[in-house]
Each structure stands twice: as C-alpha cells, then as structure tokens.
Amino acid sequence: MQVTSSSTLTILHDGQFWIGICEHEESEGYGACRIVFGATEPTDTEILAFVCRSWSALAFDLTEDDALLGASSLLSHHNPKRRQREARKLVEQPGVGTKAQQALSAGYEARKVERKADAREARQADSERRFELKQIKRKEKHKGR
C-alpha cells in the first residue's frame, strides 16, 4: 500500500502581521492551519526552527475534498430538479478562494458546532443544578427549618 503525503508552508504578510498557511494533504484528505509569526518578517532560520520544532504538533483538520466543495449534498437527493437547483446555488454562491482557505473555514465551522454543543450542555447542567437546589430548598422549608 502506497501512502502519499504532501506538506507546504506559505509565508505572507496580511497588512499587519506575517502569517503562515500550513497545508497538509494525505490520502485521507486535506487540512490546513494558520500560524501568526508576528509583526517582523521571520528569517529563514526562524522558519526552519518552527518547522522542525512544531510541525508535528499543528492541528490539521483533515477533511475530504468533496466536503470542501459541497459535492456530497448533490448526491443525497434523487430528484433531478432539486439537484439542478442545488448545483445552481453552489455555482452562484461566492466561495472562499483557495483550497487552504476552504479547509480553514471548514475547521472553523466544525469548532463552532462543537463550541455550541458544549455551551448547550453546560447551560443544561447549570439549569439542572439550580433546579435541584430549588427542590432541596423547598423540602427544607417544608420541614420547617
């Protein structure tokens, strides 16, 4: 079994900071992450030290290429008119430019969904805790204490 893997690091200036777009592509999918280097341009030795020291610790959100393009939604319905409508919407909607930017936005969306789920669970746990405290308080009142 042959596994192909490709990694790139692109350094650019966004107007305020020097940032690096780290891209990693494997047979499982494609992932990207964004690293901020700071206000001064990083030297070659700093970049090499960064790659050697922390490339393996980067959090690449590996996603399937079809998920980035939205093609999986076209396969979910069998109605040809609906597929045509979905295809037209995909073509007309302004997409994020590069594959790396699409992977970054997909990662942001995934983290947003996780963050919302965690907040919902915490809110529900807090509500249950307050309800239990209120029930205990009512029982204590009923006992006359």
- Residue-wise pLDDT for 60-98, tens only, equals 776 665 444 444 444 555 787 887 788 777 777 666 567
Res 10 pLDDT > 60? yes
Angle at 48 between CA 44 and CA 50, to 5 degrees: 115
- Residue 73 confidence (pLDDT): 46
Q: How confident is the model at residue 33 (pLDDT cuts 50, 70, 90)?
A: confident
Res 36 pLDDT > 70? yes
Average pLDDT over residues 34-57: 88
As a residue count, the chain comes to: 145
The CB density around residue 97, as the number of other CB atoms within 10 Å, is 8
- Say what percent of the chain tops pLDDT 70: 84
Strand partners, 22: 9, 33
Residue 137 — φ and ψ, nearest 5°?
Answer: -65, -40
Sign of CA dihedral 39, 32, 90, 114: negative
Res 14 pLDDT > 70? yes
- Residue 64 confidence (pLDDT): 60
